[in-house]
Chains A and B, each alone.
Chain A
Amino acid sequence: MKFLNISSPHATRAGNTGNVMRRVILATIPGIIALTYFFGPGHLIQIALATCVALVCEAAVLKLRHKPILFNLMDYSAVLTAVLLALSLPPYAPFWVTIVATSFAIIVAKQLYGGLGQNPFNPAMIGFALVLVSFPVAMTTSWSAPSELLENGISFGQALELIFSSRETIDAYTMATPLDVYKHQVGIETANEILANPIFTDTSSPATATGWIWVNLAFLAGGLFMLFKGLFTWHIPVSLLGTMGLLSLFIGWDSDQYVPLSLHMLAGATMLGAFFIATDPVTASTTPLGKIIYGGGIGILIYVIRTWGSYPDAVAFAVLLMNFAAPFIDQYTQPRTYGHKTATRGLAKKD
């Protein structure tokens, strides 16, 4: 008889990368439901579209690279990139925006760098940043108003039409996002005047945005689920939200001059960014201390760009900028190995 000849360990936990990715996708479901409830079926269509594009692109590149196609598609990483990208895009962005963003994310940002695990930048955010810079009009005029503010909401057919063919009626449905509105009005109006806008909920203190608050809470719930399941550690989201919170407390305490804390936290892509995008393991820092620095860096950058930059939301740029720094951070935040007095800092010197 022939016994397996293999060195230890012999026991391993069941599962594979696909399980991890699927769970992350699963965790986005509360957020997707909230988005669909408040902003119509736009995101559902975008997710379907982006997923198809991502899978086709991924398969094509895998074929070109002579890699097993099905085996690699089954790791669900392309699907996850597509889902996160689609959730970041405005729900009624024209289809070509989605296609450009997704294919660029998969082909250039992921596969050209060597595929899963090798890409230094978050592919979804690269795709998002590309279309944000290239097609600013399409990107800023495609957020729908919360369906409560629309007479009949948006039907599935209308959504399809908006995305794939005629965009003539788009103005009837879309509206600037709350962060955008607050940011641009705060110079002219007082907080109370701004909050009179129906995209904010009536209760003026603390200021919250209609619909967005639930979307963010839903993503927060999904994020806590992943944290509980051990898919990532607390370091990145906590330090990201913590620095953002502290900054808006210390700098932006005056809601007549700055966007208030409650809007920073519960409007825009904050929770999606903190729990689903900044925690993308491939492109984040991996050491415990490094993750805190990395998350904190993103938090600072989001606040800075939102407050003084020209973009109302800033998750994508903040994440990409910190992606640059992640390998470097890792080298200087190695944990102290058991039995060593100090931790190693930096790479070994070549002699």
Chain B
Amino acid sequence: MKQIQLHDFNGGIHPNENKIQSTTLEILNANIPEKLILPIAQHIGAPSNPVVKPGDTVLKGQLIAQGEDFVSCNLHAPTSGTIGEISLQPVPHQSNMTATSIEIITDGKDKWLEHSGLENYLNAEPEQLIKLIQQAGITGLGGAGFPTHVKTSIPASKIDTVIINAAECEPYITSDDMLMREHSQEVIRGIEILCHILKPKQCLIGIENNKPQAIEALQQAIDKLESNAYHIQVASIPTKYPSGGEKQLIQILTGQEVPNGGLPADIGVLLQNVGTAHAIYQAIDKGEPLISRITTVTGDACQQPRNYRVLFGTQVKDLLAQANTNLSKVSRLVMGGPMMGITLQDTNTPVVKTTNCLIAASKHELPDPAQEQACIRCGMCTQACPAQLLPQQLYWFSKSSNLEQAKAHNIGDCIECGACSYVCPSNIPLVQYYRFAKGEIRQANADKLKSDGAKKRFDTRTARLEREQAEKDAKRKARSEAAAKKQAEKKAQEAANPTPAADSNTVAEIDIAALQKKLDATKLGIEKSKTKLAEAIASDSDKVEILQGALEKAQTKMKDLALKIAQAKKASKATPEATDPASETDPLIALKEKVLAAKTRMEKAQERLNMAKEQNLDTVDALQMGVDKQKAKLDAAQKTLEEASQ
């Protein structure tokens, strides 16, 4: 086998590894907690759509939320139980936000849904395998959680090299390490399946040389293969953070850089995390969807750091409790690694598909940030930056909100690895400054887009109005001409043969019917856009404003139509020819109907109010006002009825 030529990447740091603590014990299945909280958006892409309702019973492995789109991901029940509420719950996010989550009250039986894997994946077409991966709800388990079926759907002809990311360069995290040590054959099997889909010329497993056992295990598993058709090879790389960054690992193993603004596929590379490969194995060979993962639980406050196989949705507090964590000793609770992880505030937050590590850090190991000093332009940050940026320049530009220059200095290429902050002797939280500047740039772009859009909308609107006005004028002219002509004809006709006037009643009826139809359609549209709007608000989408605008427009349209119908009706009634005594309703009956209608309306309003009160919504006041109004109307209607009937 040919020696793999390794390349170095610029910069990088060597923080304390702190990996030994959690590798002394084997992987343990975490307890099944009483309830699981499963956010419907654990991946990049559209949130999935719940397909269960509260009260449903589910089996382990049963689909509970369906991927909304192609770029979305299925979600399955990690164990058997009953669906609790579907509501907003804290999710892993730096901003401590909440998001829609499905609760499962577990029954402890852990009863599987009937499932089976493929007998021999080699007989399956790649499309079929991708479909199975999609059904299993697999996302990248390493970092951002990109749906795996999307990534693997790239045309196989584009991929020369498949790289398996097993570098695990962040301190503390050992979940991939332990997975490879204990399940190396399954991992290799998953990699083979991946290669079968993508047909690469070579497949490299990039792994930092601080994991000799894992390297050994993988090598043995590879040696056991009957045929290594895709040249799967272990590449032991020097330990240096962030060698596990996608771009850096590609650079180390291929010597090539992912072009700016491009994808690894542009240089014929596809990268998958080693945990993802294992999940693929489970989905294809065993037919098991992705419902659990290996998570490292570590940190000084944790009495026995180790790796657990954790069901998704397990709340952090349950996991910490199982690991005997002294919560009073925890000063910082980090989900992910110490370089790029997020801090948690709420131990109710669940473990999700991307949770590779949980650090219950004491004040001693992750001290509170030191006071920021002046930048002395020492350039240590420049030396550490793997993206070959000039962090200190970015810092000055970010600090002064000089976004133009920050962009020109390629702030967008910063991978937020934190190497610069790590080395900075002045303890400047550089990455925080960059995040701020990036946010500002995003905001500025969005604003620009919006104002550009608004201008465009304004222009099209003016053009449309002008056109409509012109059309109207033309029509009016035509009409008046036609009317004049008709008048003349009529006169002539009348003079010739006096007959009753044209049947204007039918015309009016047809008009009304058409209008009614339009009205109905508009109403339907409004309903639809209302639900869309609600969804958008729930997912914090930026479409909210647009949808709101559309809704308002539809509503005015509806009002217009209703008005027109009423007018048309009036007109048709007013037409003397239409006055049909039979259809003339008795005023008393009409009034009674009115009262009845008012009553139902009021009951409905009351019902809504009660519901709102129960759920303690803040719409109670508004609804109360509505009920009062309806009541007043009802009273008025009753009064008129009484007066009329006397």
Contact = CB atoms under 8 A, between A and B. Distances in A.
B312 interface: no
Interface in A226-264: 230-233
A156 to B, nearest CB: 35
Interface in A299-351: 330, 334-341, 344, 347-348, 350
B387 interface: yes
Contact of A281 (B328, B378, B416, B431): B378
A347 B338 CA distance: 34
A9 B421 contact: yes
A16 interface: yes
Contacts of A116: 373-374, 376
Contacts of A8: 336, 338-342, 416, 418, 431
Contact of A5 (B343, B376, B382): B343
Given A8-B339, A8-B416, A11-B15, A340 B410 contact: yes
Contacts of A2: 345
Interface residues of A, number: 49
A331 to B, nearest CB: 9
A12 B422 contact: yes
Nearest to B9: A338
Contact of A282 (B331, B377, B390): B377
A116 B387 CA distance: 28
B21 interface: no
Q: Is the interface of A mostly helix, strand, loop or mixed?
A: loop
A133 interface: no
Contact of B425 (A1, A10, A16): A16
B396 to A, nearest CB: 10
Interface in A106-163: 115-118
B404 A350 contact: yes
B426 A10 contact: no
Nearest to B327: A1
A233 B345 contact: no
Contact of B376 (A1, A7, A17, A287): A17
B41 to A, nearest CB: 20
Contacts, number: 172
B407 interface: yes
A282 to B, nearest CB: 5
A75 interface: yes
Interface stretch (B32-40, B252-260, B459-467, B624-632): B252-260
Given A3-B333, A344-B410, A335 B422 contact: no
Contacts of B333: 3
B304 interface: no
B432 interface: yes
A4 interface: yes
Main secondary structure of the interface of B (DSSP, over half): loop
A56 interface: no
Given A7-B431, A10-B332, A286-B382, A344 B408 contact: yes
Interface string A1-37: 1111111111111011101100000000000000000
A19 B259 contact: no
Contacts of B490: none
B377 A11 contact: no
A10 B343 contact: yes
Given A9-B422, A16-B373, A4 B432 contact: no
B425 A20 contact: yes
Given A16-B426, A17-B376, A347-B405, A11 B339 contact: yes
A12 B331 CA distance: 16
Contacts of A341: 259-260
B388 A75 contact: no
Residue from A19, A335, A338, A350 having most chain B Cβ neighbours under 10 A: A338
A335 B379 CA distance: 13
B171 interface: yes
Contacts of B368: 4
A51 interface: no
Contact of B259 (A10, A284, A339): A339
Interface in A188-212: none
Given A16-B373, A348-B407, A7 B388 contact: no
B340 A9 contact: yes
A341 B378 CA distance: 27
B202 interface: no
Contacts of B258: 338-339
Interface in B560-608: none
Contacts of A232: 378-379
Q: Most chain-B Cβ atoms within 10 A of its Cβ — which of A5, A6, A11, A118?
A: A11
A3 B331 contact: yes
B620 to A, nearest CB: 33
B409 interface: yes
A236 to B, nearest CB: 10
Contact of B332 (A6, A115, A117): A6
B158 interface: no
A265 B431 CA distance: 42
A148 to B, nearest CB: 39
Given A17-B425, A77-B376, A116-B374, A7 B94 contact: yes
Contacts of B173: none
B371 interface: yes
Nearest to B435: A7
Contacts of A12: 369-370, 421-422, 424, 427
Contacts of A1: 327-328, 330
A116 B331 CA distance: 33
Nearest to A326: B377
19 contacts: A1-B328, A1-B330, A3-B333, A4-B368, A5-B345, A6-B332, A8-B336, A8-B338, A10-B332, A10-B334, A10-B359, A10-B366, A20-B376, A115-B374, A116-B374, A117-B377, A233-B379, A339-B262, A344-B408
The 3 closest A-B pairs by CB, nearest first: A9-B418, A348-B408, A117-B374
Interface of A: 1-13, 15-17, 19-20, 71, 75, 77, 115-118, 230-233, 281-282, 284, 286-288, 291, 330, 334-341, 344, 347-348, 350
Given A1-B327, A281-B379, 19 more contacts: A1-B328, A3-B343, A5-B345, A7-B432, A8-B336, A8-B416, A9-B339, A9-B340, A9-B418, A10-B339, A12-B369, A16-B373, A71-B371, A75-B373, A115-B374, A232-B378, A337-B260, A338-B9, A348-B408
